[in-house]
Amino acid sequence: MSELYPAEVLINSATGAVSPATGRYAKHLSELGGIFSNADAWSRTIREENDPLIYEVLEYKQEGSDLFFGTTTMQPGKIGDEFYMTRGHFHEDRTKGEVYNTLSGQGLLLLEDRQGRSSTIEMREGSSAFIPPDWAHRSINCGPAPLVFTWFCSVAAGHDYGQILQQGMRKLVIERNGEIEVVANPKFD
Ligand SMILES: [Fe+2]
C-alpha cells in the first residue's frame, strides 16, 4: 500500500472543479436510458439537443485510503416534466452511508430504503444531507442553474445501480404549473 499523506484540495463552488482531481466521469443523456418516465421526450431531447451533458463527477482519492470525496455538477433541464437527475444507487456495502454537501444551485435529494420508505432532503447552498446506510439516493436539479455538491464516502461503499435502474424509485420529481412536486411513480401502483 502506498503511503497516505495530508493534502489540500480546492473545490470551486460554482463549477464543481476539483484541484487536484484523480478521477472524472460524465453522463450524457443517451447513457441514462430508462430512468426518465417519458421515453419519447428522452429520445427527442437526445436528437434535438445533441445528447446533452447531464452531470459530471470529479473525485479526489489517494490510493489505499478508506475515504474519498469529490463533486457532482448537474446541469439544469427536464425530460418531459421530470427534472434532470442522477441514476440513483444503493451502496454495494449495505453498512456504508454517505454525506452530500450542497455548494450551489437548488435541488432535491430523493432517498428510499429497502422497505420502500421514501424521503426527500432539500439541496441548497450550505445544506448537508446525511444518507444512512442502505438508503438508495438520487439527486435532482430542480433549479435554473447548475447544482453543485460535494460527497464524502467510504471507498469500500461501492455502487449498486441494478435495482433502481430496473424498477425506478417510488417517487418522481416533476414540474407542474411552475411548481416542484414530488409525486408517486405510477409504475409502483
Ligand atoms: Fe452513494
Residues 37-53: pLDDT tens digits? 999 999 999 999 999 99
| Ligand 1 centroid distance, CA of 182 (Å) | 21
Question: Could you tell me the distance, in angstroms and rounded to a whole number, from the CA of residue 131 to the centre of ligand 1?
Answer: 8
For 43, the grid coordinates are 429520445
Cα distance between residue 104 and residue 12, in whole Å: 10
171 — alpha (psi -120 to 50), left (phi > 0) or beta? Answer: beta
Task: Give the per-residue pLDDT at 162.
Answer: 87
- Residue 98 Cα, ligand 1 centroid: separation in angstroms? 6
Helices (H) and strands (E) in the chain, counts: 2, 15
List 160's β-bridge partners, or say none. Answer: 90
Question: How many angstroms is it from 69 CA to the middle of ligand 1?
Answer: 11
For residue range 79-128, what is the model confidence (pLDDT) as tens digits? 999 999 999 999 999 999 999 999 999 999 999 999 999 999 999 999 99
> Mean pLDDT across the stretch 148-159?
98
Domains of the chain: 10-184 (2.60.120.10)
DSSP SS3 for 10: strand
CA–CA separation, 153 vs 22, rounded Å?
15
Q: What is the pLDDT of residue 167?
A: 87
CA of residue 153 to ligand 1 center, whole Å: 7
DSSP bridge partners of 11: 18
Cell 439544469 appears where?
Answer: 76
